[in-house]
Amino acid sequence: MSNLIELSHLSKYYGKKAALQNVSLTLESGKIIGLLGPNGSGKTTLIKILNGLLKDIQGEVLIQGQKPGPSTKAIVSYLPDDDYFSDWMKAEDAIHLFKDFYSDFDENKAASLLERLSIDPKQRIKTMSKGQKEKFQLSLVMSRNALVYVFDEPIGGVDPAAREVILDIILNNYSEESLVLISTHLITDIEKIFDEVVFIKKGEIVLHRNAEELRSETGKSIDELFREVFKC
């Protein structure tokens, strides 16, 4: 295993308001990690920094030893929590776009995932349901042979049966050399695949532990622990 993400004393301010405060964190390859916290805790800010979408930060961010930029975008595959393809496009148009943008995109893997999820490449994105769009975008993101996969609420719009399929796709389509970072509020549905969890509260890391050790030591699920830490 190697350190793929290293944060050292990272802070991000919007005016005088701190979105992240002195965050230090090291994440290794070969793991699926849950990034958990309530709304406004700093999860999305951290995700955007890792994807090179936010600048003007304090501290250091390294992804495979490199600062966020064009070189890291080539190794980070990102699934945002909103739609990012134009409605007029067909699924196959988006596939061609990914193929042009990312040298690590595996078109055959994408075709296989779309078939498994019963998504027609000829289908227009505007005719897809919210759940279909999420499954489609996940298929493209997982079809890259990236080192870091970052998912922001990957199962929020799909039904429970489809969630199982999506979790299975995540589990079976990343390698031991990569890591998966997942931000979600649906902890009960997804915690079984976590190797580690990171709790973030008011811009600060309050817990980073091995998920199974945490469950064994406390006798509680990750969801139960989350509710204790973040209770009003």
Instruction: Retrieve residue 126's tokens.
Output: 């505007």
pLDDT of residue 232: 56
Tens digits of pLDDT across the chain (232 residues): 789 999 999 999 999 899 999 999 999 999 999 999 998 899 999 999 999 999 899 999 999 999 998 899 899 999 987 777 888 899 999 999 999 999 999 999 999 999 988 899 999 999 998 888 888 998 999 999 999 999 998 877 777 777 888 888 888 888 889 999 999 888 998 999 999 999 999 999 999 999 999 999 999 999 999 999 888 5
Q: Where are the alpha helices (DSSP H) in 41-120?
A: 43-50, 70-73, 91-101, 107-116
Please state whether the predicted TM-score (pTM) of the whole model is above 0.85.
yes
| Helical spans, DSSP H, in 117-231 | 130-142, 160-172, 187-190, 211-218, 222-229
pLDDT at 58: 96
Q: What is the rounded CA–CA span in Å between residue 218 and residue 201?
A: 20
Residues 102 and 95: beta-carbon distance below 8 Å: no
3-state secondary structure of 53: coil
Q: Which residue has the tokens 């649906």?
A: 186
Three-state DSSP class for residue 13:
strand
Size (the chain), residues: 232
Cα gap 168→120, rounded to integer Å: 20
For the record, the structure tokens of 107 come out as 């078109």
Residue 28: both structure tokens together? 């290794």
Residue 130: beta bridge partners? none
User: How high is the pLDDT of residue 64?
Assistant: 94
SS3 content of the chain, % helix, strand, coil (to 5): 35, 30, 35
The H-or-E segment that residue 62 falls in is: strand 58-63
Q: What distance in Å separates the CA atoms of residue 148 and residue 146, rounded to the nearest whole number?
A: 6
Residues facing residue 27 across a β-bridge: 5
Q: Which two tokens stand for residue 104?
A: 């690590």
Name the residue among 126, 116, 143 with its Cα closest to residue 91.
Answer: 126
